[in-house]
């Protein structure tokens, strides 16, 4: 493997020996369990019912004795029931959408923001960014953690950051060219949108801008998509992983060797479990990723089930980091779809369709990836016989109404096809509502 330029933000922690790291993790695990059970009524009751406490954590293996936390727990305690501090001690509050409009809420104390800045500084530095760079931040600002997370990290490494957010692609291209942007941060699908817009404007991004690094996340993307982005934008593309509930972006990132995503294990303790039994699995085994936040004050989470499927590795990486690496997420153990950075649940689609009396409750959701590597969402639904009898004009009108309702609910472009009654395959068991035809890693 060819030697590459490697930058490391915090060598004290990112390159510490595995034995020293595990000692630190155990110390912090005990502290966070004590903190959560003392300050969060949910954990007080959960652990009392399970008959465990911080005193039972004598080794890292003892984490398996602790109950899991799920996204449903966050929804059940909406909005602030999972916080360990009063609102007066929070400095930022973020939220993500849920299946039925119920958001999951996360909060940050001043210390949490320091941790976020630290982990995001590691992200930028792993990708080769320094204080000399100009960051074009096209992640969304607001309740979504992406924009603010990347902004905080850019400030931490003293790079100039352009808080352009998403949308208005033509203007974004002009800004990248005129402002001399060198680092692009956004979803991988939006990176391709920007590439298309530049081409339509007659621009060659490789020649007409100074872009050299792209840091992309918030949705799954393949190696083919990486190559496509790098070819069209002339950047080295880095994958990043994060969850709003855990910290936001900054949980893990690729280094220049692209051997997996290095996890900030001193702040986020990772596990792989069997998604069915919940039993712990070892390294190099495919399973569900679980995280414990070792240093978060505002919203401590212990054994949080991400529903993401991946593999953890601890074999040496040429970059010198000793933190465990996770492979690209291979899918989810639940039914959530991520389309161009937007979370889409089949239950949301069903809810829209059932609002229309002229439609039968028989539908299939197709996801695909076009040749340009952009994700597509297509919904086929059966017409009632009365709608079918009304002819093509009536079907076209109904199609337009459904498309508008889908856009207002999902916030993502959806192709809607109303098909003949009885044309969608039935099943004697569970109906196959989702057909994901996208290429996965």
Q: Report how far apart, in Å, the C-alpha atoms of 113 and of each of 23, 276, 327, 425 are.
A: 24, 35, 27, 51
Contacts of 412 (CB under 8 A, 6+ apart): 339, 340, 342, 344, 377
- φ, ψ at 83 (rounded to 5°): -75, 145
Residue 97, pLDDT score: 67
For the chain, which residues make up each domain, given as ranges?
11-333, 338-436
In this chain, the answer to whether the domains covering 11-333 and 338-436 adopt an identical fold is no
Tokens of 84: 């360990």
HEC readout, the chain = CCCCCCCCCCHHHHCCCHHHHHHHHHHHHHHHHHHHHHHCHHHHHHHHHHCCCHHHCCCHHHHHHCCCECHHHHHHCCCCCCCCCCHHHEEEEEEECCCCCCCEEEEEEHHHHHHHHHHHHHHHHHCCCCCCCEEEECCCCCCCHHHHHHHHHHHHCCCEEECCCCCCHHHHHHHHHHHCCCEEEECHHHHHHHHHHHHHCCCCHHHHCCCCEEEECCCCCCHHHHHHHHHHHCCEEEEEEEECCCCEEEEEEECCCCCCEEECCCCEEEEEECCCCCCEECCCCCEEEEEEECCCCCCCCCCEEEEEEECEECCCCCCCCCCCEECCCCEECCCCEEECCEEECHHHHHHHHCCCCCEEEEEEEEEEECCCCCEEEEEEEEECHHHHHHCHHHHHHHHHHHHHHHHHHHCCCCEEEEECCCCCCCCCCCCCCEEECCCCC
Domain 338-436, CATH number (from 3.30.300.30, 3.40.390.10, 3.90.1010.10, 3.80.10.10) = 3.30.300.30
Contact of 111 with 297, CB cutoff 8 Å: yes
Residue 428, pLDDT score: 34
Contact of 11 with 17, CB cutoff 8 Å: no
Residue 2, pLDDT score: 54
Residue 210, pLDDT score: 98
Contacts of 93 (CB under 8 A, 6+ apart): 105, 106, 107, 108
Structure confidence by residue, pLDDT tens digits, 256-288: 999 999 999 999 999 999 998 999 999 999 999
Tokens of 108: 């940050």
Tell me the β-bridge partners of 263. Answer: 252
The Cα 132–Cα 149 span in angstroms is 19
Judge residue 152's burial from the number of C-beta atoms within 10 Å of its C-beta, 0-12 exposed, 13-18 middle, 19 or more buried: buried
The Cα 409–Cα 420 span in angstroms is 25
Give per-10-residue mean pLDDT for the chain (441 aa). 83 97 98 98 97 96 97 94 98 77 88 98 98 96 92 98 91 97 91 87 96 90 82 96 95 97 98 96 96 98 94 97 94 73 78 86 84 82 93 95 91 91 63 71 44
Contact of 186 with 194, CB cutoff 8 Å: yes
Residue 96, pLDDT score: 84
Q: Which residue has the tokens 């996965």?
A: 440
Residue 24, pLDDT score: 98
Q: What is the largest CA-CA distance in the chain?
A: 73
Topology of domain 11-333 in CATH is Rossmann fold (3.40.50)
């Amino acid at each position: 493997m060819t030697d590459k330029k490697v930058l490391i933000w915090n060598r004290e922690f990112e390159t510490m020996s595995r034995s020293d790291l595990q000692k630190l993790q155990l110390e912090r695990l005990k502290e966070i369990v004590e903190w959560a059970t003392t300050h969060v009524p949910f954990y007080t009751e959960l652990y009392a019912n399970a008959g465990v406490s911080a005193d039972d954590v004598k080794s890292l293996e003892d984490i398996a004795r602790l109950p899991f936390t799920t996204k449903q727990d966050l929804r059940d305690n909406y909005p602030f029931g999972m916080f360990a501090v009063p609102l007066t001690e929070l400095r930022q509050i973020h939220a993500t959408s849920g299946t039925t409009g119920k958001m999951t809420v996360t909060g940050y104390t001043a210390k949490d923001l320091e941790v976020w800045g630290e982990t995001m500084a590691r992200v930028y530095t792993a990708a080769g960014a320094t204080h000399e760079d100009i960051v074009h931040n096209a992640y969304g600002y607001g309740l979504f953690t992406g924009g603010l997370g990347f902004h905080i990290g850019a400030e931490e490494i003293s790079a100039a950051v352009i808080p352009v957010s998403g949308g208005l692609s033509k203007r974004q291209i002009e800004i990248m060219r005129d402002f001399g942007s060198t680092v692009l941060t956004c979803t991988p699908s939006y990176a391709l949108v920007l590439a298309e817009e530049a081409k339509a404007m007659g621009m060659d991004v490789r020649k007409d801008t100074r872009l050299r690094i792209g840091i992309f996340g918030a949705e799954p993307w393949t190696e083919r998509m990486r190559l496509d982005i790098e070819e069209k934008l002339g950047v080295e593309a880095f994958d990043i992983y994060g969850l709003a509930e855990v910290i936001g972006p900054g949980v893990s990132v690729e280094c220049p060797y692209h051997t997996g995503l290095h996890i900030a294990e001193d702040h986020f303790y990772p596990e792989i479990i069997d998604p069915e039994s919940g039993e712990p699995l070892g390294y190099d085994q495919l399973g569900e990723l679980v995280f414990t936040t070792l240093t978060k004050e505002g919203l401590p989470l212990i054994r949080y089930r991400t529903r993401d499927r991946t593999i953890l590795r601890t074999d040496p990486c040429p970059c010198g980091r000793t933190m465990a690496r996770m492979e690209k997420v291979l899918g989810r153990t639940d039914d959530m779809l991520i389309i161009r950075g937007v979370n889409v649940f089949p239950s949301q689609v069903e809810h829209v369709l059932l609002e229309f009396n002229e439609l039968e409750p028989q539908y299939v959701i197709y996801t695909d990836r076009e040749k340009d590597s952009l994700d597509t969402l297509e919904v086929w639904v059966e017409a009632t016989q009365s709608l079918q009898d009304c002819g093509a004009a009536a079907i076209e009108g109904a199609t337009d109404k459904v498309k508008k309702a889908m856009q207002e609910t999902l916030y993502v472009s959806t192709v809607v096809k109303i098909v003949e009654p009885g044309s969608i395959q039935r099943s004697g068991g569970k109906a196959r509502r989702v057909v994901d035809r996208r290429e996965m890693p």
